[in-house]
Amino acid sequence: MAGAFTGAVSASMLKSMGVSWALAGHSERRTIFGENDEYINGQCLKLIEMGMNVMLCVGESEAEYDQNLAGAVCAVQLKKGLNGVSKEDMSRVAIAYEPGTFVKQRCV
């Protein structure tokens, strides 16, 4: 594999450079690197613990979209991704809906 990859940097490196927002759950990381909801939850909790803000990305694959599972998939990703995030810390979280590759393929 060649190229730049979203998220290939540690939270402490980001913080040392003054970054205040970071992505967790980006579709590229879920697909290529196999990051699951539990791992993504750990990223969210770590970013918040370090005083940073997190953009939690959720979205279905093309196959899940075709099976009308978008809502269910996103609900699970939200529930698992935000597990343990306090009500107060939700002010540090933004949600990004990132549909699967179907958007690119069907809109061309």
Known catalytic membership, residue 64:
no
Smallest CA-to-CA distance from 60 within 68, 50, 51, 70 is with 70
Q: Which of 26, 35, 60, 64 is catalytic?
A: 26
pTM above threshold 0.95: no
Virtual CA dihedral for 55, 61, 65, 68, nearest 10 degrees? Answer: -80
Query: How do residues 66-104 score in pLDDT, each as one tens digit?
Result: 899 999 999 999 999 999 999 999 999 999 998 875 555
Query: How does pLDDT run across 27-71, given as a tens digit for each residue?
Result: 888 988 899 999 999 999 999 999 999 999 999 988 898 899 999
Question: Based on the number of CB atoms within 10 Å of its own CB, is 58 exposed (0-12), middle (13-18) or buried (19 or more)?
Answer: buried
26 is catalytic: yes
Instruction: In the chain, count H helices and then E strands.
Output: 6, 3
